[in-house]
Structures are given as C-alpha cells and as structure tokens.
Amino acid sequence: MSREDLKGRSALVTGAGVRVGRAIALSLASAGMRVAVHTRSSLPQAAAVVSEIERCGGTARAYVADFEQPGSEARLAEEVLGDFGGCDLLVNNASIWPRGPIGSVRPEDLDRVLAINLRAPFLLGLSLGRAMKTRGGGAIVNLLDWSMERPYADQVPYAISKAGLAAATLGLARALAPEVRVNGIAPGPVLLADDMTPEAIDAVVRAVPLGRVGDPSDVADAVLYLAGASYVTGTILNVDGGRPLL
C-alpha cells in the first residue's frame, strides 16, 4: 500500500476524538481514507471528528470501546471489519499517562496502564493484522514515546507500557510480514500539559534542538509517511525535534 493507494482505503485510529489522535484521523481522511474514529469516553468529540470529515466529503464512523475491559479490542476489530469491509491501516494511538511518585503505584494502577497502552494495541494488531494478511496487505502504526528509553521518575508504568509496545511492534513486523508492515512512532514533546508553568515550557523548548514544541500535525505527517512507505517495516521513527541529541 503506497501513498497513492490510500484513497478509498479504510483506517482505524484509536483515541481519535481528541489531541494527536484527532489530527491523525483528519489527516488520513484528507488523504482520501475512510476512517473509523475510536474513543473510550469522548463520544461527543469523536462525533465532532466524524462530522468534520463528512463535511469535507469524506467517510467516517465513531466507535466506543473501553480497552480496560478484556475482549473490547476484539469486539472493536469485528465491528470495524464488518462496517468497512476490511481495514487497511491500524493506528494504535489511544493511551493513558498517569503521573505520580513511584511509591504510590498500586498493582491495579499498573494493570490499567498495561491493559490500555499495551494489551489492547497488541491484540488489535493481531486481530486486524491477520485480517490484513488474508486480504493481501495492510499497515499498522503504533504510537510510542521518546521517554520509553529515558523514563520520567513519575511515569514509570507509562514508560514500561510503551517499551513493551515497542517490542510488540518489532515482533508483529516479523510475524505479519510480508503482507503487513508494522512500524512505530516515538513522539517527543507534543501538546504539553495545561498546568505547565512558562518556566517549565521554556526548559522543554531549550532541550529540543529544533527549538520548538511539536504539533499534532507533525505526528500525523509521520503516520501518513509510514502508511504509504511500502518498503519500511519494523522501524521506530522518532518525531521529537532531535531531543535525544542533547
């Protein structure tokens, strides 16, 4: 599936009602793809994304699934395959990123992060990846994080989940080849927290060689590239302004 082949194809974007997921869904729709817009709890926002796509002449549909619940990913895959007649691109974007001192992490906290950030995207990749192989092709893009290799002290469970998803990305790339390509994107600072002080924001910017915080469109552009890069698989693309260089 090359960039020219995206028009008329179908994509599922998880966590697509807000933030980076929204930008990805709109970008894929602008490339001519039919988009399944998944959300866990932001149905009004997901419906707004669908409406925006439809106003521009595209095709989209909203889906609700709580990945904390076992089996939800299988039901979502079945619904999307039934409604769209297949799935050519899966973008695993949905994620939670709880913060807190490492000493406050409870077993159930870790279970929740792993269920949403690792179990669900891996099982979705398996379900839809098999369907893609049967149809003769497709692509999966997993959203990771640059901090999975340099975890923040107050987000260790999050880093664990993203490191596991990176391993799943490489494993699925081997297991689903040659019909299905599987890649990852590791964003750096994009959409900083609303409660960050000007001083904290300035410190982040100074730590990025390109001198700015990333925009959701930067990640969406990377997804579009990987969706159409027919000779790229098993790759994790950093979209971080060069931050690891410093």
Which residues are identified as catalytic? 158
Backbone angles phi, psi at 139, to 5 degrees: -145, 150
DSSP 214: B
Q: In whole angstroms, how far apart are CA 79 and each of 29, 87, 138?
A: 19, 11, 18
Question: What are the b/e assignments for 198-232, b being 16+ CB within 10 Å?
Answer: eeeeeebeeebeeeebbebebbbebbbbbbbbeee
Q: How is residue 158 written in tokens?
A: 């999050």
Q: How is residue 169 written in tokens?
A: 């990305």
Q: What is the distance of C-alpha 149 from the center of its chain? A: 18
